[in-house]
Chains A and B, each alone.
Chain A
Amino acid sequence: MTRLAARVRRVALVAVPLGFFGLFFAYPVGSILARGLAPGGHVDLGPVGRVLTDASLRGIAWFTVWQAALSTLLTVLIALPGAYVVSRFRFPGRGLVRAAIVIPFVLPTVVVGSAFLALGFRPSLGAIVVAHVFFNYAVVVRIVGGFWSHLDPQQDDAARVLGASRLRAFRTVVLPALRPALLGAAAIVFLFTFTSFGVILILGGPTRSTLETEIYRQTAELLNLRTAAALSVVQVTAVAAVLVVVGRAEGRHRVALRLRSARDTARRARTGLERLFVGTNLVVMAALLGAPLVVLLARSFATTGGPGFGFYDALGHLHANSVLFVPPVDAIRNSLVFAGEATVIAVGIGGLAAVAVARGRRGRFLDGALALPLGVSAVTVGFGFLIALDKAPLDLRTSSLLIPIAQGTVAVPFVVRTIVPVLRSIDPRLREAAMTLGASPARVWREVDGPIVARAGLVAAGFAFAISLGEFGATVFLARPNTQTLPVVIFRLLGQPGELNFGAAMAASTILMALTGAAVLLIDRVRVARVF
């Protein structure tokens, strides 16, 4: 009986996330690709061949890959020291810094693009890369830092005592332990920059296109589904290849570690060098992440008659008599409710998947599959929904239920990638010891894995919540007049002329920033039972 129950549990661990993935991703995307590549019922891969032989399309594909690789490399290099600082050192305002770095992640690209232009950036490759680092800094800090804060500092201390240099101790002890988290984070950053849309359009200028912008153009503007499908096949193949490589690399480096409570691993900077290191990183964060945010903040108060709350006021009454108007309070509530639901979906699906990934061999496939949506064009998924989920009871096309589902889908890979490294590194001897002492499997889970996973789950939840708050690509297609979120309101305001509209958009962006910071701060504050 218990064995049957265990088997049911094992199957459910894989089946639930896989079913979700199949229904809300694979099926719609498959449908739209089929419409493009097999319009008459028989498959014609000719367009795919054309993409690969057409010089300009090949150029687009190549540019997509290398700008993403460059952006990912720089993001990791710049954010890794930052992850170390916020996870290992105690300093005044640490909680605030940890919450604040997530803010860039939720801001609509149109808004950030305008802030970068105001800072003097002109459309160029450099502007694209800097903006990508700005957006994705938090990905590395949250995922890697979240794991780092549980690593036992005594291990590298021991290496230092044994005569290893600081660098050598990092390379031989810390880096191998961090590797799964680092690879997981880098993979997500790569997918994000690979499918980056607004940044490329605004900061790349009209001469630079990527697979993502080209798929959008071919699908939404030209309705050329054949070329769009061919480009999507190239995109999906590239993304899948990257995920397989990363998955292999992660699998090879499984190290059981002694994990500690985050509270035991952080300490004050002791030496001058350490203080300099912490200080430098905080300055980098302030300049890189802070400057564009300050531009938006300043603009939201810069009314014609001098600094004031005029734009915030305008947010409440501008267009108040229009059917598409939502009072700011309602937009905030919509944002919070959808983000809350999306977080529940993401943590539920992602949590189950994480356990399956950490335990089973088939897990690696699941891990890669769930990350795939990050690497596939939003317009492909969106248009896929339209043609695939069109029959009752699955006709969710005009239901507001799709909003948290879409947002949750985007957040699932973060949840998986935050929890899996932690789960994998729990020393199996701990479990075995508990079993030997007579604990049931459920009890082992509750007492050994549970508390650590709960902490990682909270980190993941905070991030999932932030992602959902800022999600725009899917939400703008799905939102109805009464279900508009803050990013949708910002987008609509920016679509209309006049300084009040622009100022009100800046005010709404500032509210979104504050809301994100507060939400992440709050979630980070939730304490789980102390581990060990």
Chain B
Amino acid sequence: MKRLAVLAVTLTMLAAAATPARAASAPPVTIRLVTHDSFAVSKSVLAAFTRQTGIKVEVLASGDAGAALNQVILTKNSPIGDAFYGLDNTFLSRALGAGIFQPYQSTQLASVPATYQLDAQHRVTPIDHGDVCINYDKTWFSSHQVPVPTSLDDLTKPAYKGHLVVENPATSSPGLAFVMATIARYGERGWRAYWAKLRANGVQVVDGWDQAYNGSFTAGGGNGDIPLVVSYASSPPAAVVNANPQPAQSPIGTMLSSCFRQIEFVGVLKTTTHVAAARKLVDFMLSQRFQADMPLQMYVFPVRDGTPLPAVFTKFAQTTSNPLSIPAAQIGHNRDRWINEWTATVLR
């Protein structure tokens, strides 16, 4: 019964939304932010935005990054939201090719380094970056008296046979990022030979990050038996924060030479009727307050210059100033082929 009432109210509201507003004073606007399942922000931070602007934000977490983007593309003529956050550089050219965003150049971009601003037309705005890297279990390596690998080449050596678990790039975003890392490192000519060597050295492939980190990794939650995993540069601080009691040192280390940089973007959808409100949200996501909130909410790094990092990040997260990377256009042009070739090399 209650649900029927809700339906009736919804229908009335939809009808009301369809008729032009007659009231002089602007009614409170609600905008919908379509995003992926990993989205998080502090309640107080989002509440501050609503207080400042009168704009409410409804979050629509719609699957992983790829699935969320594809839903936005499919519904571009009758959109489910006003802005989309969570697009990363590996999907960038698909999104731009589909023409789902409208340009907006936020004044806040003045504080964001140019290296993050990948679209000259500003259809998308960079918000954060995260590095996909190989993590290692410090305890395992010291107790087994095996040296920690320091290069991608090391991983093909007998000492690390069967000791690495990666995610399937066809179904996992860190999995894809790591394949990109190997392509960036070994080039179009060499990357498949490298994976053939990894395969010969017993690399384990699982479907997603959860199975790799929680299931197979020795220092994840589920007592796995593999000490090297493709995860993030932010996993070491996360392992400290999400433990009780919190250890003095992170049990996890990062192999910096394996890192591939993912940049995440937000964009105002072309078909939104709340352009001004959506733009304010973009500005807010680049503000110091939102940027400083992200590390402990989503375990990503802010793009805004001078944003203070939480202590656990400065203490436990190792980052490289020189990550592996591939231009977004080149990724867009080749990603499906690379995935198919990877599948043929590693799984068939």
Measured CB to CB, the residues of A under 8 A from B are 110, 113-114, 117-118, 201-202, 205-207, 217, 219-223, 299, 303-305, 310, 314, 318-319, 321-325, 341, 383, 386-387, 390-393, 395, 397-401, 404, 476-477, 479-481, 491-492, 494-503, 505
Partner of A386 from the list B71, B214, B222 (CB cut-off 8 Å) is: B71
Name 10 interchain pairs, CB-CB below 8 A, sorted by A. Answer: A110-B210, A322-B43, A323-B46, A383-B74, A386-B74, A491-B37, A497-B235, A497-B242, A497-B299, A505-B221
On whether the beta carbons of B75 and A498 are closer than 8 Å, the reply is no
Given contacts A304-B244, A318-B242, A323-B43, 14 further A-B contacts (CB under 8 A): A217-B170, A303-B244, A304-B245, A321-B43, A321-B44, A322-B40, A393-B14, A404-B3, A477-B63, A480-B58, A491-B37, A495-B38, A499-B221, A505-B221
CA distance A480 to B211 in the complex (A): 25
- Contact A387/B221 with A110-B210, A221-B67, A480-B60 known, Cβ cut-off 8 Å: no
Q: Which of B5-13, B139-147, B189-197 contacts A (4 or more CB under 8 A)?
A: B5-13
Q: Which residue of A lies closest to B209 (CB)?
A: A495
Set of chain A residues within 8 Å of B74, measured between Cβ atoms: 223, 383, 386-387
Q: Which of A325, A497, A501 has the most CB of B within 10 A?
A: A497
Q: Is B150 an interface residue (CB 8 A)?
A: no
- Contact A114/B214 with A395-B14, A502-B222 known, Cβ cut-off 8 Å: yes
Partner of B18 from the list A110, A220, A392 (CB cut-off 8 Å) is: A392
Contact with A along B184-209 (1 / 0, CB 8 A): 00000000000000000000011111
Measured CB to CB, the residues of B under 8 A from A are 3, 6-7, 10-11, 14-15, 18, 32, 37-44, 46, 58-64, 66-67, 70-71, 73-75, 78, 80, 94, 168, 170-171, 205-211, 213-215, 220-223, 231-232, 235, 238-239, 241-245, 297, 299, 336, 347-348
Partner of B70 from the list A113, A220, A319 (CB cut-off 8 Å) is: A220
CA distance A391 to B15 in the complex (A): 11
Set of chain A residues within 8 Å of B14, measured between Cβ atoms: 392-393, 395
Set of chain A residues within 8 Å of B244, measured between Cβ atoms: 303-304, 310, 314, 500
On whether the beta carbons of B37 and A492 are closer than 8 Å, the reply is yes
Q: Which residue of B lies closest to A391 (CB)?
A: B78
Set of chain A residues within 8 Å of B61, measured between Cβ atoms: 324, 479, 481
Set of chain A residues within 8 Å of B245, measured between Cβ atoms: 304-305
Set of chain A residues within 8 Å of B43, measured between Cβ atoms: 321-323, 325
Minimum CB–CB distance from B11 to chain A (whole Å) comes to 5
Set of chain B residues within 8 Å of A318, measured between Cβ atoms: 242
Per DSSP, are chain B's interface residues mostly helix, strand or loop, or mixed? mixed
What are the 8 closest A-B residue pairs judged by CB atoms, nearest first? A498-B242, A502-B221, A220-B67, A390-B78, A497-B238, A201-B207, A500-B242, A206-B205
Set of chain B residues within 8 Å of A480, measured between Cβ atoms: 58-60
On whether the beta carbons of B299 and A221 are closer than 8 Å, the reply is no
Set of chain A residues within 8 Å of B67, measured between Cβ atoms: 220-221
Partner of A496 from the list B18, B44, B46, B238 (CB cut-off 8 Å) is: B238
On whether the beta carbons of A223 and B63 are closer than 8 Å, the reply is no
- Contact A398/B37 with A220-B70, A223-B94, A391-B78 known, Cβ cut-off 8 Å: no
On whether the beta carbons of B78 and A323 are closer than 8 Å, the reply is no
Q: Which residue of B lies closest to A299 (CB)?
A: B222
Set of chain B residues within 8 Å of A223, measured between Cβ atoms: 70, 73-74, 94
- Contact A497/B171 with A303-B244, A341-B3, A392-B18 known, Cβ cut-off 8 Å: no
Set of chain B residues within 8 Å of A397, measured between Cβ atoms: 75, 80
Set of chain B residues within 8 Å of A498, measured between Cβ atoms: 221, 238-239, 241-243
Q: Which residue of B lies closest to A404 (CB)?
A: B3
Minimum CB–CB distance from B226 to chain A (whole Å) comes to 12
Q: Which of B32, B40, B299 has the most CB of A within 10 A?
A: B40
CA distance A476 to B60 in the complex (A): 11
Q: Which residue of B lies closest to A310 (CB)?
A: B244
Set of chain A residues within 8 Å of B213, measured between Cβ atoms: 497
On whether the beta carbons of B63 and A476 are closer than 8 Å, the reply is yes
Set of chain B residues within 8 Å of A496, measured between Cβ atoms: 38, 238, 242, 299
On whether the beta carbons of B243 and A322 are closer than 8 Å, the reply is no
Set of chain B residues within 8 Å of A477, measured between Cβ atoms: 62-63
Set of chain B residues within 8 Å of A118, measured between Cβ atoms: 222-223
Partner of B3 from the list A206, A325, A387, A401 (CB cut-off 8 Å) is: A401
On whether the beta carbons of A321 and B63 are closer than 8 Å, the reply is no
CA distance A305 to B18 in the complex (A): 58
Minimum CB–CB distance from A403 to chain B (whole Å) comes to 10
On whether the beta carbons of B75 and A499 are closer than 8 Å, the reply is no
Minimum CB–CB distance from A401 to chain B (whole Å) comes to 6
Q: Which residue of B lies closest to A341 (CB)?
A: B3
Partner of A321 from the list B42, B171, B214, B220 (CB cut-off 8 Å) is: B42
Q: Which of B211, B239, B299, B347 has the most CB of A within 10 A?
A: B211
Q: Which of B40, B63, B207 has the most CB of A within 10 A?
A: B207
CA distance A205 to B216 in the complex (A): 13
Minimum CB–CB distance from B198 to chain A (whole Å) comes to 14
On whether the beta carbons of A206 and B206 are closer than 8 Å, the reply is yes
- Contact A217/B214 with A386-B80, A401-B3, A499-B242 known, Cβ cut-off 8 Å: no
Q: Which residue of B lies closest to A302 (CB)?
A: B223
Minimum CB–CB distance from B66 to chain A (whole Å) comes to 5
- Contact A221/B171 with A207-B347, A323-B42, A494-B214 known, Cβ cut-off 8 Å: yes
Minimum CB–CB distance from B176 to chain A (whole Å) comes to 9
CA distance A304 to B66 in the complex (A): 35
On whether the beta carbons of B222 and A205 are closer than 8 Å, the reply is no
CA distance A201 to B209 in the complex (A): 12
Set of chain A residues within 8 Å of B37, measured between Cβ atoms: 476, 491-492, 495
CA distance A397 to B80 in the complex (A): 7
Set of chain B residues within 8 Å of A221, measured between Cβ atoms: 66-67, 70, 170-171
Set of chain A residues within 8 Å of B44, measured between Cβ atoms: 321
